[in-house]
Structure 1
Amino acid sequence: MPTPIPPGSANETALLDLLRRHPRVLLTGPPGSGKTTLVHRVATRLADQGQACHCLAADPGLPGFGPPGAICLGRWDPRLDEGGGWRLETIEALATLDSARFRLPLVEAVRRLAARTEAGPLLIDAPGVERGIGGAELLAALVNASHAGAVVRLAPENAPDPYAQERVALGLEVLKLPAAPEARHPGHQLRTQRRTEAWDTYLTEAVEQSLDLVDLAIVGTPPPHDVTAAWHRRQAGLLDATGRTLAMGEVLALEGGRLKLLAPPLGDTPRTLVIRDAMRHSEGHLGTARPYRAPYPATPDEPSLRLPLQEAVDGPRPTLRLDGVRATLVNGVFGDPLLHLRLRHRKRSLLFDLGDPGRLPARLAHQVSDVFISHAHFDHIGGFLWLLRSRIGDYTPCRVYGPPGLAGHLDGLMRGILWDRVEEKAPRFEVFELHDERLAHYRLVAGQPMKALSPREVDDGVLHVEPGFRVRAVTLDHGTPVLAFAFEPDVEVKVRKERLDAHGWAPGPWLGELKQHVHAGVDETVIELPDGSQRTVAELAQHLLLSQPGKRLVYATDFGDTPDNRERLLRLARGAEVLFCEASFREDQAEQARRTGHLTARGCGEIAAAAAVGQLVPFHFSRRHVDDVGELYEEIRRHFPRLAATPGSDPYSEVD
């Protein structure tokens, strides 16, 4: 009988054969396809044959060796660790973890390191960027910069290649290899953990150093010099007079024109400082900083409203985390209403209203499954064109819920566009309108007439229900019907971390899969664990999970302060964990609020108190209060003190 082939050895043999024909090979593929592992195994095989091998780790987000935030060149050393490892020879500092946004500096760094590499096999481990024009440009640029003679694409079998034509256009030999069955994306949490550990390892021998900024050229995207707090914990690259990287460091402070940072001992005097967007966050992990914006002015008598330095002029962007859900008021408390609910571990999003979506990554639109529109005024529906454009392609229909007339408004927006070239890639929507206790149903396909489908009855305002949660609505009056919504999880499922640690099981996508099966009531499904063992959902749920009633979230905006509106909203919001509620005007502007059908700050606070909610997020402030927002907050606090007004870290620094 033939000797069984160990997993991955066929790929190793194929890559070794390719290296005999082309000593420089670029390895590409989606995240989690096993490129770094394959490179490691091939280097081991070459060492067994007495041949040296170099690797150029070109993913600054998590290189296979060396510090994150850099492009790293290493030589395989069979004496390192157990079974060999990469001996770091040199690095090129990028000070970013974002391969796509800063692809030009990345490519130039690869070009410089590839030029320094001696003869012999060189494996270029490319970033897993496989979306949009950025990925296409990066593929061609990396081939050119590294002088690769062949390209490998490692991906799960039957996975579509988004850049098949671009690979053909390169005119090089292309080898397509199947990813090993056990290869999978580690998940955002584990990837962040590994990245931070790699950065901490790099800084093991670091010492505190002090540099005079007068002697340094500062390049990249640094914060303003006069905003010293924005420099804290930024990653920095230190370059010599020739532009070579001496080391990387972590900024401790910027004081009086001197920069204090933690970095390995320097062999020469640095002449250039590279600062971009990599930084250590307050939680201790290495991640991406939000772009700097001037702080929103705080009133002297309201210290609790002082905002993080990166806050935009739209005021605070509250971000709240409930179990399995992250809720972000995308445009802040003054901007167009748009609440983003990220269903964590599911790569899926819900949107409440569609105001200006400019801050949302375009790729997020592909993960939006349901949109809940309060009403069709421009600041609540204008972002539909963004959603429409982003969903040209092979996507499942997006569901949209709203008040009577919504389908006609969306159809009108779609009919204003020429759709002669989309063919089968036309955007598709299922639109549902709440008419008292009936839910009208329409199908909208770009370039085709709107089609009315069979309506259904609505039970107690429930618009949408699926395993794990439901969304309920009530109709309020704004001079036009307006819907307020409640997101209602069935149960809140938490992981017992001490039991997870006791088994040595690393967190990852498998936990999200476990929670989804629990919500769906599927007990006998088998889950594969990080150690390779398997358990049923029922076994794992009993051992690892705690369940309790889910925390409800309510979203209400644009309604007049009438007894009927208050009564309807109180029925929906009573006992909710979080209430997002408009507070457009001060109490002394009650007449203006009445004429425009809006709520005062006092009314907002009174409703939150009467509903006994856990937290209140007031928003949709009139821009006339940009300079006196403290008065709005003070008025609300007199009636309800538990405000959640200030966000945490940027929720869009790394979209799953």
Structure 2
Amino acid sequence: MKPVFHPELINDVFGDPAVYVDFLFEKRALLFDLGDLRNLATRKILRIRDVFVSHAHMDHFFGFDWLIRLCLGREMRIRLFGPARFLGQVEARLAGYTWNLVENYDTDFTLDATEVLSDTRARSARFRCRTGFRRENERELALSDGVLLDEENLTVRFCLLDHKIPCLGFALQEKLHVNIWKNRLDELDLEPGPWLQGFKRAVLHGLPGNTPMAARRRGGDETTYRLDDLAGTIAHISTGQKVAYVTDAVFHPANAERIVGLGKGADQFFIEAVFGDELAERAARKFHLTAAQAGSLARCAKAKFPVPFHFSPIYHDRENELREEFERAFRGQLNPSPLQQGL
């Protein structure tokens, strides 16, 4: 299965948290967290359409100004999502600058921000360049099943975590993966083209199997198939890709249950591993996970490819210690005693 989402850490494991997820077939990307973005090429930043911020500690929100700086003056809209008080934090950052000339801009760069108030409630507002980024269109939103973003073939879900403040974990899920077999197209003398996007949409929307589908033959002629006949011949349809992201959460039973539920079956699971297990008490005081706790949570979630990150700088010369501890816990060779609570 050729993955649709291509996630990557922007910084090394000791740097500010931020994961860039590029979309294979769209001129689009999203971000998990807004740490330092200066290692990310401008062309990549300009693909960003959605940003999911776990919380507004500086190492997770420092890149906000750089994002605005590069997008200002362009006809773009970016959706931002964060925890309670997020609207005020976005507003305050924007209010720190003078916007007296923006009403003359030809473009109207826009931010649509949403703050998660609870598992079932959110509030959104708009900030437009031409109005000096004043807060507009504020409204309350109902949330269901943890869904923040629901599009034709993807969802982004959240869970509320305890970092002594509300902190959000996120999971990006492709609803279905439709892989076209080129050799089957050749056998049917069908030509790849825009009609395949219509076919994929019909599959994703769950249209009836007898729905007629127009396909284009080589040479330009059209032919018609039943949807289920075409799907059974030219495509492999499977569960879609999942990318989960969790950082800045203390270990306790409620957090553990939510983290495991969010990351369940993830193809890539980015999860913080701040301290070694020998500093478990320090991790608890600072409301972070140890590498052993993170590895065991990823194991419980049955993640395929977990990615530990957000290492404490005190391990700068001992990075392998954290990685080895994480891997041992993920393989079930290490069970840190705090993890036995509630799992």
- For the pair 1:330 / 2:10, whether they are aligned, the reply is yes
Q: What's the CA shift for 1:397?
A: 2.2
- For the pair 1:603 / 2:293, whether they are aligned, the reply is yes
Tell me, yes or no, if the aligned pair for 2:76 and 2:108 is still in contact at 8 Å: no
Tell me, yes or no, if the aligned pair for 1:585 and 1:632 is still in contact at 8 Å: yes
Scaled by the length of structure 2, the TM-score of the pair is: 0.84
Q: What's the CA shift for 1:380?
A: 1.0
Q: What's the CA shift for 1:519?
A: 3.2
Which residue in 1 is equivalent to 2:338? none
Separation in 2, partners of 1:356, 1:626? 18
Give 3-state SS (helix, strand or coil) of 2:49's partner.
strand
Equivalent in 100, 110, 128 of residue 445 of structure 1? 128
Change (3 A) 1:465 1:434: same
Which residue in 2 is equivalent to 1:340? 20
- For the pair 1:483 / 2:168, whether they are aligned, the reply is yes
Gaps of 5+ in 2: 333-343
1:250-296 C-alpha deviation (Å, 9 max, x unpaired): xxxxxxxxxxxxxxxxxxxxxxxxxxxxxxxxxxxxxxxxxxxxxxx
Which residue in 2 is equivalent to 1:558? 248
After the TM superposition, which residues 28-427 of structure 1 pair with which residues of structure 2 at under 5 Å, given as runs?
323-423=3-103, 424=105, 425-427=107-109
Q: What's the CA shift for 1:421?
A: 2.7
Equivalent in 572, 583, 586 of residue 273 of structure 2? 583
Change (3 A) 1:638 1:543: same
Equivalent in 305, 322, 334 of residue 615 of structure 1? 305
Equivalent in 138, 146, 168 of residue 461 of structure 1? 146
Q: What's the CA shift for 1:585?
A: 0.8
Separation in 2, partners of 1:509, 1:624? 53
Tell me, yes or no, if the aligned pair for 1:323 and 1:494 is still in contact at 8 Å: no
Separation in 2, partners of 1:342, 1:362? 14
Tell me, yes or no, if the aligned pair for 1:345 and 1:509 is still in contact at 8 Å: no
- Choose 1 or 2 for highest CA Rg: 1
Separation in 2, partners of 1:509, 1:617? 36
Separation in 1, partners of 2:307, 2:218? 39
**Root-mean-square deviation over aligned CA pairs:** 2.7
Tell me, yes or no, if the aligned pair for 1:566 and 1:607 is still in contact at 8 Å: yes
Separation in 2, partners of 1:529, 1:406? 52
Which residue in 1 is equivalent to 2:337? none
Q: What's the CA shift for 1:349?
A: 0.8
Separation in 2, partners of 1:442, 1:605? 37
Give 3-state SS (helix, strand or coil) of 1:639's partner.
helix
Which residue in 2 is equivalent to 1:38? none
Give 3-state SS (helix, strand or coil) of 1:621's partner.
coil
Q: What's the CA shift for 1:553?
A: 1.9
Change (3 A) 1:580 1:510: farther
Change (3 A) 1:628 1:534: farther
Separation in 1, partners of 2:151, 2:64? 24
Separation in 2, partners of 1:513, 1:406? 38
Equivalent in 629, 653, 656 of residue 319 of structure 2? 629
Equivalent in 424, 432, 449 of residue 114 of structure 2? 432
Tell me, yes or no, if the aligned pair for 1:366 and 1:395 is still in contact at 8 Å: no
Q: What's the CA shift for 1:505?
A: 6.9
Q: What's the CA shift for 1:487?
A: 1.0
Q: What's the CA shift for 1:482?
A: 0.4
Tell me, yes or no, if the aligned pair for 2:191 and 2:216 is still in contact at 8 Å: no
1:16-59 C-alpha deviation (Å, 9 max, x unpaired): xxxxxxxxxxxxxxxxxxxxxxxxxxxxxxxxxxxxxxxxxxxx
What is the identity percentage for the equivalent residue pairs of Structure 1 and Structure 2?
Answer: 36
Q: Which has the higher contact order (CA 8 A, sep 6+)?
A: 2
1:356-410 C-alpha deviation (Å, 9 max, x unpaired): 1122222333322211110011111111112212222353421111101111111
Separation in 2, partners of 1:449, 1:638? 50
Q: What's the CA shift for 1:411?
A: 1.3
Separation in 1, partners of 2:244, 2:49? 19
Separation in 1, partners of 2:276, 2:267? 25
Equivalent in 138, 146, 156 of residue 471 of structure 1? 156
Partner AA of 1:418 in structure 2: T
Tell me, yes or no, if the aligned pair for 2:4 and 2:241 is still in contact at 8 Å: no
Q: What's the CA shift for 1:549?
A: 1.7
Separation in 2, partners of 1:638, 1:430? 42
Which residue in 1 is equivalent to 2:339? none
Change (3 A) 1:457 1:498: same
Tell me, yes or no, if the aligned pair for 1:586 and 1:600 is still in contact at 8 Å: yes
Scaled by the length of structure 1, the TM-score of the pair is: 0.46
Give 3-state SS (helix, strand or coil) of 2:156's partner.
strand
Separation in 2, partners of 1:504, 1:342? 33
Separation in 2, partners of 1:504, 1:558? 53
Q: What's the CA shift for 1:504?
A: 7.2
Change (3 A) 1:383 1:526: farther
Give 3-state SS (helix, strand or coil) of 2:330's partner.
coil
Which residue in 2 is equivalent to 1:137? none
Q: What's the CA shift for 1:520?
A: 5.0
Give 3-state SS (helix, strand or coil) of 2:283's partner.
helix
Q: What's the CA shift for 1:591?
A: 2.3
Tell me, yes or no, if the aligned pair for 2:77 and 2:110 is still in contact at 8 Å: yes
Q: What's the CA shift for 1:511?
A: 5.7
Q: What's the CA shift for 1:534?
A: 4.7
Which residue in 2 is equivalent to 1:174? none
Give 3-state SS (helix, strand or coil) of 1:323's partner.
coil
Q: What's the CA shift for 1:470?
A: 0.8
Partner AA of 1:378 in structure 2: M
